[in-house]
Structure 1
Amino acid sequence: MKKIFIIIILFLSTISYSQKKKEIYLFTSFREPAIEGLYLAYSEDGYNWKGLEGSFLKPDIGASKIMRDPSITKGADGTYHLVWTTDWKGGNGFGYASSKDLIHWSKQEYIPVMKNEPEVVNVWAPEIFYDDVKKEYIIIWASTIPFRFEKGQEEEKNNHRMYYVTTKDFKTFSDAKLYYEPGFSVIDCVIVKKAKKDYVLVLKDNTRPMRNIKVAFGKSPLGPFGKSSEPFTAHLSEGPTVVKVGKEWLIYYDNYGEKNYKASSTKDFVHFEDVSSKISLPEGHKHGTITTISGEVLKGLKEKK
């Protein structure tokens, strides 16, 4: 009888430990008009998302004091790093803060990455990628510098290219450099490490005739990336984020032309399947990124309100 009791205790302990260690998907988001800050949703399967109540970080930097396009990544030490768009127009940088539990945050900082470009129109949708080869963070974003590049039907102040900086500690940053110049206006890029020396750039072609999502391929997270693919989404779609669920990659995006959120599934970033009927997201969910959290962190987030 004693042995049976011990076995039961060990079994229950194993289940409890497994539940604590299980990684849960976390989706960052914002709500229009973007003054309330960071919203969060979680999922156990990567398809069905439940919103957590209220804002978890209210923006207090930037001329507009807004938070759009919150991008998050988890460092090797478990610290979460968050960057976001602080101004729709104007401004030469983005917002930054860090946290261990997504409840208690460091002081918000404004990172003026385009300070050497006095004519810059904007700094949109900064996206963090951790380069596990060089052990550094890459932040990419879209900016317009009028009359810098050839353009199509776009106005000079809406002709974007992608730029980047690198950092190891979010205290010192490299100088901003051109990241991606595909020959057309481009925004909302996401770096994906598909395999060793096999990277994908998911991007929005922001030219007036297109305004849809494509991919390009490279052998390094800093490129160069080759010619972009044909679009795999409809006209008026943007804000992609990518997460691997099992053997599939899910690409979530804002299908703003139809005012809904959609998702495509792929194994190779060449063939795509629309899986929008299989996903569910909180009402009002907007462009963010996906990371993972522990059950313990989720418990804290649920108990915050």
Structure 2
Amino acid sequence: MVMICCSCVSSKQAWLYTSFKEPANEGLRLMYSYDAKHWAYFDHIFLKPLAGRDKIMRDPSMIKDKDGVYHLVWTTEWKNSNGFGYASSKDLIHWSEEKYIPVMQQETTTVNVWAPEWFYNDVDDSYMIVWASTIPYRFDKGIEDEFNNHRLYYTTTKDFTHFSPAKLFFDPGFSAIDATIVKRNNKDYVLVFKDNTRNERDIKVAFGETPVGPFSNISKPITAGFTEGPTTVHVKDEWLIYFDAYRNQDFEAVKTKDFITFTDATKEISVPQGHKHGTILTVTKADIKKIQRSLKHIDSTQIQ
């Protein structure tokens, strides 16, 4: 899901991977890695979901702003929802009050708001959130049910308080969910998303000249079927695309240098069992150590 870019792996670099576990009522979990391939996890619930009617947290997406503040968004309901959850933190231990952001309130027949995903738009110095929603009888549905026919929408913010009115982001002519944006070669953008039609349910890519598209030249599937929740990480001269192979109840990955040719990289990665898809963001080893120290302090306080 969130675009991560780095020209090389430095000795100070590390990564966080947001996740959750079914049935999604516990809250935010975090995994960490020092090579972007092998992941361990903190045995801790970092944020219990309180926003929204169902009080669940699915598809958590996190970004770190220029001031070092973490911002989290997530899915709060399967259906009958017009918004997503939002909270922020300076240290991932202490969080702001959770908010429900009703980004689709102007569309009264909206069925759902799924998988909100952060992206920093350096063109206008704003933060984008892209998600999938179904508005029945709005688009061609093909073989899909009217209430399971998704398109991608987006909003922008510069202060994490005011969000622009939702706009249509991507209509490929079929149901699409789980989108992440990648800035490639400092000149164009790649949209990695799930084709959610019943005969596909796989991951594809499309290309655009700006962060808001239009995106075109949709690829053939880059994964097998029953895959979703892509997130990307750039290591040295390759991009790794992680995804949730939900039929196999496991994570898999492909790698690419150009988003045209893809190679299976599943044997190169390891993700703890039971974690579900979120997003990867670049941090430092010092950030990881700080989190570990904070959790030890919490544990020792509880024991006392």
Question: TM-score by structure 2 length?
Answer: 0.92
Partner of 1:233: 223
Q: Is the aligned partner of 1:172 residue 2:162?
A: yes
Provide Cα deviations, 1:33-71, integer angstroms capped at 9, x if missing partner. 001110001001010000111210111110000000000
Partner of 1:63: 53
SS for the counterpart of 1:204 is: strand
> Structure 1: where are the runs of 5+ without partners?
1-19
* Residue in structure 1 matching 2:120, options 116, 123, 130: 130
Cα distance in 1, alignment partners of residues 124 and 185 from structure 2: 15
User: Equivalents in 1 of 2:80, 2:11: separation in Å?
Assistant: 43
1:277 aligns with 2:267: yes
The change in CA–CA distance for 1:132 and 1:236 in structure 2 (over 3 A counts) is same
Quick check: 2:253–2:269 contact (8 Å CA) kept in 1? yes
Partners of 2:217 and 2:144 lie apart in 1 by 20
| Equivalent in the alignment of 1:5 | none
CA distance, structure 2, for counterparts of residue 91 and residue 191 of structure 1: 24
Bigger relative contact order, structure 1 or 2, given CA contacts below 8 A and separation 6+? 2
Q: Deviations over 1:48-101 (max 9, x none)?
A: 000111210111110000000000111111111111001111111001111111
2:14 matched residue in structure 1 = 24
* Aligned-partner residue type, residue 38 of structure 1: L
Aligned equivalent of 1:266, options 253, 256, 271: 256
- Provide the C-alpha distance between the structure 2 equivalents of 1:76 and 1:89, rounded to a whole number of angstroms: 34
Q: CA RMSD in A?
A: 1.2
Matched with 1:244 is: 234
Give distance in 2, aligned partners of 1:103 and 1:294: 17
Contact persistence 1:21–1:294 (CA under 8 A): no
Q: How far apart are the structure 2 equivalents of 1:180 and 1:44?
A: 34
Give the aligned residue type for 1:114.
M
**8 Å contact 2:34–2:285 — kept in the other structure?**
no
- Which structure is larger by alpha-carbon Rg, 1 or 2? 1
> Is the CA contact (8 Å cut-off) linking 1:166 and 1:173 kept in structure 2?
yes
2:152 corresponds to 1:162: yes
Query: Per the alignment, in what secondary structure is the counterpart of residue 296 of structure 1?
Result: helix
Task: Say which of 209, 212, 234 aligns to 2:202.
Answer: 212
Q: Would you say the 8 A contact 2:12–2:286 is kept in 1?
A: no
The DSSP-based 3-state class of the residue aligned with 1:257 is: coil
How far, CA to CA, are the matches of 2:182 and 2:253 in structure 1? Answer: 16
Deviates more, 1:122-131 or 1:101-110: 101-110
- Out of 277, 281, 290, the position equivalent to 1:291 is 281
Does the residue aligned with 2:63 lie in a helix, a strand or coil?
strand
SS of equivalent to 1:95: strand
* Percent identical residues: 59
The residue matched to 1:157 in structure 2 has which SS? Answer: helix
Give the number of aligned pairs: 286
Return the alpha-carbon distance in structure 1 between the equivalents of residues 262 and 77 of structure 2: 33
- 1:48 aligned onto 2:38: yes
Deviations 1:92-123 (CA, angstroms, capped at 9, x unpaired): 10011111111111111110000101100000
Offset at 1:166?
A: 0.6
Shift of 1:21: 7.8
Counterpart in 2 of 1:108?
98
Shift of residue 23 of structure 1?
Answer: 2.1
Matched residue type, 1:50? A
TM-score by length of 1: 0.92
Provide structure 2 residue ranges, at least 5 long, that are not aligned to the other structure. 1-9, 300-304
For residues 253 and 39 of structure 1, what CA distance do their matches in structure 2 show? Answer: 17
Q: Which piece of structure 1 moves more, 191-200 or 66-75?
A: 191-200
* Match of residue 132, structure 2, among 137, 142, 151: 142
From 176, 184, 204, the counterpart of 1:194: 184
